[in-house]
Amino acid sequence: MGAIHGANAKAHPGLKLAGLVEPRTEPARALSVALDCPIVELGAMLADPRIEGLIVASSTDSHLDIVLAVLRAGKAVFCEKPLDLDLNRLRAHEAELASPAAPPQVAFNRRFDPHFRALKARIESGAIGELETLQLISHDPAPPPPAFIPTSGGLFKDFTIHDFDVARWLMAEEPTEVFAWAACLVDPAIGAAGDVDTARLILRFASGRLCAISNSRRSAYGYDQRVEAHGSRGVALVENPRVSTVESWSTAGALAAPLFDGFAARYARSYAAELDHFVRVLDGSAAPTTGYEASERALALAEAAALSLRTGAPVRLADV
Amino acid sequence: MARAVPVPLALFGAGRIGAIHGRNVAAHPRLRLAHVVDPMSNAAVALAAACGARLSSAEEALADPAVAGVIIASPTDRHLDQLLAAAAAGKTIFCEKPIDLDLTRARGASGTLAGARLMFGFNRRFDPNFQTLAGRLASGSVGRLETLNITSHDPGPPPLDYVRISGGLFRDMTIHDFDTARWLLGEEPVEVFAAASCLVDSAIGTAGDVDTAKILLRTASGKLCLISNSRRSGHGYDQRIEAFGSAGMARAGNVSESTVVTWSEAGLVADRFQNFFLDRYAEAYRLEMDHFAEVLAGATPRVGLADALAALALAEAAEASARAGRPVRL
């Protein structure tokens, strides 16, 4: 993620990348060359009055400490999701993180995807009447390395967290209950690490509206990212973009170009757009779209889903 | 080869679905509609006339030694009694879903029905699109099947009089999806969770039913199936299946009224989906009646008593889950 945000920052006319905070490993050196900025210490950046903001794309377990340090240094911060893996720890810092003076921008990038934004606009235009149910399909092309699993926080905090945020955003209502079933069907190493790789979840909202989420850590046909919004007068869909619009037809049938092979290509425009939004946060012309509240709600949903999976019963958000 | 004399059949029920089956029988080269049994319907008169059949009582139809087969397309609460009567008369039977509104009652009759030649009208198993999907799964083209998403939304809610006798969303509507799930998963669900609401028409809620649901099924091996149901979709009859496997995904989409699309400044406009089951599943109804002709000629029914009972068991479990707010084991 750091490489993506770094490249976008380097390319943005309103930003100058001053330093890369990383241990001096070979990949970090290569990235610093590619980004044309030196490897630096976090402390030096925080003490440097010329530095206006930091982008935090480190491993998830380090997010919160760095974000708090940046805020205490009086600088703006853009942080990858999730803000933290521990709901209680996150809540303990609510006063600082939710401060209207300098709230962090947390990178729920799908809110900046042009396709998802167009869907949201269609819903709000009344094109499908009253929104009633959502179906989110979110399947990764391939599972992460098994070594990543123990630090990831598990499927729900690492992966479904995006879908939880999308569900809240599109419904414009808080889920009140979550039910999750999951299994390890893709890679036994994920199961051995105590996680799952395949899931179906149902969210219920106070109004009775429902959202179903499909997750898999592996989809052999590419990155499958779709939304169906069913309303009283129609349905609105986000389909998968393909790497090209070419189709070929033969006696065997039709062959379309494949889906994108991962988030870097599929969501390239969203990453650029969310960083552009951060530039507007820096110059004071916009407020962060997703900060403490979005992070806290999505993490609460992830913990509720994990609890539902353990207990085999639906979990009320009020109990998390 | 000499052409066989068409097999005479009796049809119980001349409502919407009875009329489909009656006309498909009349149009079938190896079948003939001899009796229409429906005590209280003007539609029965018209259907009998259109199909060259006569209006009969149930007793007359079952006592006719020429009648080899009976089609039961009456209201659901009549299915089981008519099944038992037709079985006692030694007829080969085609029965609409569901077998009954009550699982205990249906199971109680299963001993008697076990000896009957009996098939059930789970028409989606005969839909050419879904059959092709099943064939792709069986051929291994998506690897090992892992999860299934079934979307089944009706264009508009049925009349309230129908809702009251339907047995509820799960027995009346989702029962098709339960059968489809069992068929495609190739494995029995062991647990079901259902979240349901009344969002479409509050009168459905007042009648004690729901109109919107998301249902999860889980099999012993961990395969998961998501079913999405609504009694009303503003965009037409929404009937889709997606099957996710270790090596890919196969899906059957909606069928449109035409393939025409128009482009303008506003974007692309495609034609509507075929509206409701009479159109969308017309070929499936024809093919399931063709299968019944094969059953009458000695073939083994592809959808039998065990399937009807299993789908009803899933419906009752889903209803119990929605009421209790907890998953229910089968």
pLDDT of residue B3: 61
Cross-chain Cβ contact A198/B249 below 8 Å: no
Mean pLDDT lowest among A207-211, B26-30, B235-239, B284-288: B235-239
Q: What percentage of chain B reaches a pLDDT higher than 70?
A: 99
Q: Check if the beta carbon of residue B234 is closer than 8 Å to that of residue A235.
A: yes
Residues from chain B contacting residue A128 (CB–CB below 8 Å)? 234
Pick the CATH number of A2-109 from 3.50.50.60, 3.40.50.720, 3.40.109.10, 3.30.70.330: 3.40.50.720
The β-bridge relationship of strands B238-245 and B248-252 is antiparallel
- B129 and B112 in a single domain? The answer is no
Contacts of B307 (CB under 8 A, 6+ apart): B120, B122, B179, B182
The β-bridge relationship of strands B328-329 and B189-197 is antiparallel
Report the CATH number that the domain containing residue B44 is assigned in CATH.
Answer: 3.40.50.720
**Domain boundary pick from B60, B86, B116:** B116
Cβ–Cβ contact B131 with A under 8 A: no
- B233 and B139 in a single domain? The answer is yes
- B315 and B199 in a single domain? The answer is yes
What mean pLDDT do residues B65-88 have? 97
Write the pLDDT tens digit of every residue in B96-137. Answer: 999 999 999 999 999 999 999 999 999 999 999 999 999 999
- B146 and B245 in a single domain? The answer is yes
- B200 and B316 in a single domain? The answer is yes
Write the pLDDT tens digit of every residue in B188-203. Answer: 999 999 999 999 999 9
**Peptide bond just before A314 cis, omega within 30 deg:** no
Q: What is the mean pLDDT of chain B?
A: 95
- B91 and B188 in a single domain? The answer is no
Cross-chain Cβ contact A231/B143 below 8 Å: no
Whether B298 maps to a domain, the answer reads no
pLDDT-derived band at B234 (thresholds 50, 70, 90) equals: confident
pLDDT of residue A142: 95
Residues from chain A contacting residue B153 (CB–CB below 8 Å)? 230
- B92 and B138 in a single domain? The answer is no
pLDDT-derived band at B4 (thresholds 50, 70, 90) equals: confident
Rounded CA separation A178/A203 (Å): 5
Residues from chain B contacting residue A186 (CB–CB below 8 Å)? 146, 246
Cross-chain Cβ contact B224/A181 below 8 Å: yes
Mean pLDDT lowest among A99-103, B79-83, B178-182: A99-103
Strand partners, B225: B148, B217
What mean pLDDT do residues B234-240 have? 92
Name which residue leads in pLDDT, B165 or B252: B252
pLDDT of residue B278: 83
User: Which string of DSSP letters, residue by residue, matches chain A?
Assistant: -HHHHHHHHHH-TT-----EES---HHHHHHHHHHT--EE-HHHHHH-TT--EEEE-S-GGGHHHHHHHHHHTT-EEEEESPS-S-HHHHHHTHHHHT-SSSPPEEE-GGGG-HHHHHHHHHHHTTTTSSEEEEEEEEE-SSPPPGGGHHHHT-HIIIIIHHHHHHHHHHHTS-EEEEEEEEE--S-HHHHHTT--SEEEEEEEETTS-EEEEEEES--TTS-EEEEEEEETTEEEEEPPPBS---EEEETTEEEEPPBPSSHHHHTHHHHHHHHHHHHHHHTTSS--SS-HHHHHHHHHHHHHHHHHHHHTS-EEGGG-
Residue B219 clears pLDDT 80, i.e. is over it: yes
Prediction pTM value? 0.93
pLDDT of residue B14: 96
pLDDT of residue B266: 87
Report the CATH number that the domain containing residue B167 is assigned in CATH.
Answer: 3.30.360.10
- B141 and B270 in a single domain? The answer is yes
Closest-CA distance, A116 to chain B, in angstroms, reads 17
Contacts of A303 (CB under 8 A, 6+ apart): A87, A156, A157, A320
Chain B 239-278, CB below 8 Å of chain A: which residues?
Answer: 244-249
- B241 and B324 in a single domain? The answer is yes
- B134 and B210 in a single domain? The answer is yes
- B110 and B146 in a single domain? The answer is no
The per-residue pLDDT string of chain A (320 residues; one tens digit each, 9 = 90 and over) reads: 999 999 999 999 999 999 999 988 999 999 999 999 999 999 999 999 999 999 999 999 999 999 999 999 999 999 999 999 999 999 999 999 998 777 899 999 999 999 999 999 999 999 999 999 999 999 999 999 989 999 899 999 999 999 999 999 999 999 999 999 999 999 999 999 999 999 999 999 999 999 999 999 999 999 999 999 999 999 999 999 999 999 998 998 899 999 999 999 999 999 999 999 999 999 999 999 999 999 999 999 999 999 999 999 999 999 99
Cross-chain Cβ contact B327/A312 below 8 Å: yes
Cβ–Cβ contact B149 with A under 8 A: yes
Name the residue among B151, B193, B212 with its Cβ closest to that of A181: B193
Interface test with B, best of A125, A186, A202 (most B CBs within 10 A): A202
Name the residue among A204, A219, A231 with its Cβ closest to that of B195: A204
Domains contained in chain B, number? 2
ipTM reported for the complex, 2 dp: 0.90
Residues from chain A contacting residue B222 (CB–CB below 8 Å)? 183-185, 198
Closest-CA distance, B165 to chain A, in angstroms, reads 24
B309: its two tokens: 């009972």
* Residue B177 structural domain: 125-277+310-329
Pick the CATH number of A110-279+288-319 from 3.40.50.300, 3.30.360.10, 3.40.50.980, 3.40.50.1000: 3.30.360.10
**Domain boundary pick from B116, B148, B163:** B116
Q: Check if the beta carbon of residue B241 is closer than 8 Å to that of residue B184.
A: yes
pLDDT-derived band at B247 (thresholds 50, 70, 90) equals: very high
Q: Check if the beta carbon of residue A167 is closer than 8 Å to that of residue A215.
A: no
- Sorted by where each begins, the domain ranges of chain A are 2-109, 110-279+288-319
Whether B288 maps to a domain, the answer reads no
Whether B189 maps to a domain, the answer reads yes
Residues from chain A contacting residue B216 (CB–CB below 8 Å)? 179, 181, 200, 202
Whether B301 maps to a domain, the answer reads no
- B75 and B157 in a single domain? The answer is no
Cross-chain Cβ contact A212/B200 below 8 Å: no
State the residue for tokens 């190493």: A189
Whether B130 maps to a domain, the answer reads yes
Q: Any idea how long chain B is?
A: 330
Phi, psi (degrees; rounded to nearest 5) at B270: -105, 165
Residues from chain A contacting residue B224 (CB–CB below 8 Å)? 181-183, 198-200
Provide the 10 A C-beta neighbour count for residue A35: 18
Q: Check if the beta carbon of residue A81 is closer than 8 Å to that of residue A164.
A: no
Cross-chain Cβ contact A202/B193 below 8 Å: yes
pLDDT-derived band at B71 (thresholds 50, 70, 90) equals: very high
**Domain boundary pick from B98, B116, B134:** B116
Residue B2 clears pLDDT 80, i.e. is over it: no
